[in-house]
Structure 1
Amino acid sequence: MASPKQSHAKSGEKWSQEVTETSDALDLEEGVFTKDDPAEIAGSLKRSAEKSDRRKSDPYRSAISMLTFHINRSGKNLDAGRRKTLEAAKDELRKLFGREE
């Protein structure tokens, strides 16, 4: 029996793609992580988190976790400008959920 990593390698699918598509996370709007405005990214994640029936934790935690997961999985492939936009989206999410520090 092939390990999960091997089966994904054969199919050309990355395990992170499977997690995003099948886990009890969020049903994301198409292209959310490609938007240029951090407020739009945050708004989209908030809407997705509040309406999703796949999440296990509260909407804020689900939204911030999905954003962090995307940033971490992008790793070195994420250019500095894109990373800055996505990190700013975290701040926008905090504002939207009233979790400013």
Structure 2
Amino acid sequence: MAPDDRQRWSQRVTETSNALDLEPGVFTWDDPRRIALSLRRSAESSRRRKAGPFQSAMSMLNFYINRAGSQLSESQRACLEAAKDELRALYGRPRRRPPP
């Protein structure tokens, strides 16, 4: 595998796998609720997902956070972590953190 291919494997996985069809820029938004609502819409409308909508949406969010790693600003990481709780709330699951 060429060095360029190794660096972009996660992009290729996102584009060609049974990943959700996400709105452009969804992970760059600064509103956790908006991010969660978008992920829910994508998960519920997807015909390619293999798991339930909650698990699929949460998996995409975790995948992005993990792949971004240290490249993610502290404020954006906090926003995405808050989006996880919003997603849990949208699916009637208990939050890990109290809402702001």
Fold shared by both chains (TM-score > 0.5): yes
Give 2:25's aligned residue.
Answer: 31
Runs of 4+ in 1 over 4 A off after TM superposition: 10-13
SS class of match (2:43): helix
Over 3 Å counting, the alpha-carbon distance change for 1:79 and 1:54 in structure 2 is: same
Aligned-residue CA RMSD (Å): 1.5
Shift of 1:30: 1.1
* Counterpart code for 1:85: C
Letter of the structure 2 residue corresponding to residue 58 of structure 1 = G
Question: What is residue 44 of structure 1 aligned with on the other side?
Answer: 38
User: Is 1:83 aligned to residue 83 of structure 2?
Assistant: no
What residue is the counterpart of 1:73 in the other structure?
67
CA distance in 2, matches of 1:37, 1:10: 33
Identity over aligned pairs, percent: 60
Report the Cα distance in structure 2 between the residues aligned to 1:71 and 1:32, rounded to whole angstroms.
12
Matched, 1:53 2:29: no
For structure 1, which runs of at least 5 residues remain unmatched after alignment?
1-5
**Corresponding position of 2:15:** 21
State the TM-score, normalizing by the size of structure 1: 0.88
Aligned length: 95
Offset of residue 10 of structure 1: 4.3
Query: Which protein shows a greater Rg?
Result: 1
Distance 1:11 1:38 in 2: 32
Q: Which residue of the partner structure matches residue 98 of structure 2?
A: none
Whole-angstrom distance in 1 between the partners of 2:18 and 2:86: 23
Q: TM-score, normalized by length of structure 2?
A: 0.89
